[in-house]
Amino acid sequence: MASNEIINNKMRKEGTHMKTVKEGETYDCLRLENQLCFPLYVCAKEIVRRYKPFLDEIDLTYTQYIAMMALWDKKKLNVKELGDMLFLDSGTLTPLLKKMEEKGLLTRTRSKEDERNLIVEITDKGEALKEEAKTIPERLGSCLSMSEEDAGKLYEILHRFMGTI
């Protein structure tokens, strides 16, 4: 049984905001309103869309922005560590990091200890961008109509779920 179906069945049993499956509704599992993945997809897409005008001001895509957040925090990471933090594979990271290096935000160098490891390090220009970006989370928050309490609950649930994938 797929995890989405397991979650949906659990939600039906617990009576949480989903329509009850009636006898004989064989294909009810294929209805959009019975999917957990669909509202997650819509919300993620819409939040990234709302980030866009703020990120355009600092010439970053959303994926570049989350990579910069990791580098602002850690300063220096190997590509595997960065990929693990961002839940991205090297096929996605390689072109992303190359573009960011061309912008002067980071450097990519081979590890002296093990040349198979590519080290990503923030540059002074990348570090300076942090000052311009520091208002983005608050500005985005003002675009979302969600209480602080609901946002905290959602954050906790999503992070707990991320720990399982």
Kindly state whether residue 15 falls inside one of the protein's structural domains: no
Spatial contact of 120 and 97, defined as CB atoms under 8 Å apart: yes
In angstroms, the CA 7 to CA 36 distance is 7
pLDDT in tens, 109-142: 998 988 889 999 999 999 999 999 999 999 988 8
CATH number where 151 lies: 1.10.10.10
Residue 65 lies in a domain: yes
Domains contained in the chain, number: 1
For residue 165, what pLDDT band results from cuts at 50, 70 and 90?
A: confident
Upper half-sphere CA count for residue 101 (Cβ side, 13 Å): 12
What domain range includes position 125?
A: 59-162
Torsion on CA atoms 84, 90, 94, 96, rounded to nearest 10: -50
Instruction: Look at residue 43 and tell me if it is in a domain.
Output: no
> Could you tell me if residue 128 is inside a domain?
yes
Residues 45-104 have pLDDT tens digits of 999 999 999 999 999 999 999 999 999 999 999 999 999 999 999 899 999 999 999 999
Residue 93's nearest CA partner among 105, 82, 101 is 82
Whether 87 is covered by a domain: the verdict is yes
Return the exposure string of 75-92: e unless at least 16 CB atoms fall within 10 Å of the residue's CB, then b: eebebeebbebbebeeee
In a domain, 22, yes or no: no
Residue 108 lies in a domain: yes
Burial of 4 (0-12, 13-18, 19+ CB in 10 A): middle
pLDDT value of position 152:
92
* Closest among 100, 98, 105 to 75, alpha carbons compared: 105
In sign, the C-alpha dihedral spanning 81, 85, 89, 92 is: negative
Q: Is residue 154 part of a domain?
A: yes
- Parallel, antiparallel, or unpaired for β 106-110 and 118-122? antiparallel
Between 42-46, 74-78, 140-144, 151-155, the lowest mean confidence (pLDDT) is in 140-144
